[in-house]
Amino acid sequence: MEVINDARLMELVREPARELLPAARRASVAQPLVVLLAFLPGLLGFWNRTLDEATCRQGLLAFEVAASERPMDWFVTASRNAAENSTLAFPLPTLATALGLQIELLSPESRLLLVSYLSSVFLLLCLSCLAKKVGGSRFALLVVCMACGHREFLVLSESLPPVAIPLAFAALSFRAMLAHQTAGQALVSWPLLASSLALAACWLSGGELALASLGVLLAISSSSVFSRENLSARSTWRRVVRQRFWKLSIAVVNIVLVTTIAIAVVVGWQSVFSDRIQQPMIAGSSFWIHRIWPAESHAVEAAQALWQMIGAWLGFMVIGVVQVARRRMRQPGGLGLEAACLLVGWAVVGGLGWWVTWPDHHGAWTNSVTWPGLLLLPMLFFAAWGLEAVLRRELGVGTVVTATLATLGVFFAPHWTARLPSPVSGTWIAACVLAGAIVVWAGLIMVRRLVKSESHSRLLLLSCVVLLVLSDVTNGVFTWRRWSDDERELLAFRLQLLSENTPDHCWLMTEESSPARLRFFLRSLWHDAALQEANDWESILFKPIRTSATKPIEPETPHESRLPVATITPRAIVVTWGGSKLPTEDLKRRGQTLTQATAPHYFQGRPLKGYRWVERVERPTSH
């Protein structure tokens, strides 16, 4: 006979915990939201675009590709630039950028950044496909929802080279390998071939990132070795060893096949379109074979960069890591061994690559090798899995509130520490830690007193989720790089030049090396005009512009009157950057006209002016 006290009665009458947002589980709801979130947030950066030197250098390379006459020449030029150019250039991103520059409906800067915006959308869609394979439709929606407004992902819509392209192909390769692993023990399958082709595309668009992706594929493939399927309690150790060895052999063969096919595609591409085969920089300064531990360890700077990259995901990420471990140990059928090996192997490979290449990228997202991005993506999956655990009501209200308050405290710590006195003493640090502990303790007490029903618990949990998501999105929006004075001056200068007729030549005269932004804007104004650089006026005066041939005179007929025909003289636009004086006397002596086309502007602290150059017109005398 069981005695029921008041506490037991309160538990029996309490409303059972219900799942948060159950409607998001349906694919008919999740998939349209995934597409909407993938396209909309990137428009913020696409329409508020800002161009830097690296972006404009990629644009100039794309103009070289677009200048080719035949489509086959595009592939040849892009591949040769990737093999010979000292700056970062890969064939697939360069081809995509050159294709975007052909759209005449947009401004030059919008055309240049169109491929960056579309590549970020492509990355989010590929991540949703991978996340749907890992955790279902709602998990894919959570991954895209947390990524679309994050600061690092918003940067992708306005950065060249497009880092999102190799990361997207890497995600597709992982997705195809997961499909091959879960389909059965087939040695060769169509998903395995798709994984190889995606890895080859990652190589052609990201270089060394393909080698790191190969390590993640190895972790996915080796997951079958540790699987307990087809093993009974009566299995002998010989049978267990035999099955393990057989699965290990299949995993090795799969990796060898994927690597061989990818290398064959890359070598075939470069053999057809390039003079030499480009290899990953294994021994160069940007790789890490000889430098497992950096000579100069910047632990504090690395921790700050890592925290800035994570943003407001910290609480969800910690919960996700714990949940993945718990699901793997207690509920093997929940997450799945292959998905667990994917996330763990991805985080290990990304973290190792990010740490050992720290002296090269210093935490920058759009560096030559995209190791920060490779580390950010598994953190995103862990954070989304933590959010999924909160929505499933697998954690108590106190745990979620504690994680939320701790995340907000760490998130806003840089703003609070900036107000502290410059010599921060141990007393100040102890006081801050004590104040944080008191706030968390008071918050937990308030939660226990206020949350007395299921509706209150749901409201509080939804408030915690919305607060962290809005903090992350707000951080991404308000840390957006605004237009500088140089960019406004350059835009006003370009708008004045747009009113001019299309010249045959455009000269850029500067005593020093010209900025890539200035060259790109001049090159994008007139596609048919040749852009040349000069160090002084003598180079322009003693190089007459004769590219435009004079108009041929047709033979006269007896019925036509003899009229003087004027030759069509080529025109040019001369842009000066820096303090250079006009050679007035030489121009008068040569009989050439030079008039000012734009008002004086200042770019990078130096005067920027535009002039119209018209050569002398000669008319034949009539007899």
Q: Does 164 have pLDDT greater than 80?
A: yes
**612, two tokens:** 């119209």
Q: What is the pLDDT of residue 542?
A: 59
Look at 54 and 515; give whichever has higher pLDDT.
515
pLDDT one-digit tens code per residue, 447-458: 766 666 777 788
Identify whether the C-beta of residue 550 lies closer than 8 Å to the C-beta of residue 568: yes
pLDDT one-digit tens code per residue, 379-406: 999 999 999 888 888 888 888 888 888 8
Q: What is the pLDDT of residue 277?
A: 52
How far apart CA 227 and CA 240 sit, in angstroms, is: 11
pLDDT band per the 50, 70, 90 thresholds, residue 563: very low
Q: What is the pLDDT of residue 141?
A: 92
Q: Does 564 have pLDDT greater than 50?
A: no
The domain limits of the chain are 21-162, 163-230+241-280, 300-393, 396-419+428-478, 485-548+566-614
Q: What is the pLDDT of residue 282?
A: 43
Q: Does 95 have pLDDT greater than 80?
A: yes
How far apart CA 224 and CA 314 sit, in angstroms, is: 31
pLDDT one-digit tens code per residue, 184-193: 666 788 889 9
How far apart CA 30 and CA 142 sit, in angstroms, is: 9
pLDDT one-digit tens code per residue, 128-138: 999 999 888 89
- Its sign, for the CA torsion 119, 120, 121, 126, is positive
Burial 265-288, CB ≥16 within 10 A → b, else e: bbeebbeebbeeebebeeeeebbb
Q: Is the whole model's pTM more than 0.75, yes or no?
A: yes
Looking up tokens 């141990």 gives: 426
- Its sign, for the CA torsion 196, 27, 153, 403, is negative
How far apart CA 369 and CA 361 sit, in angstroms, is: 8
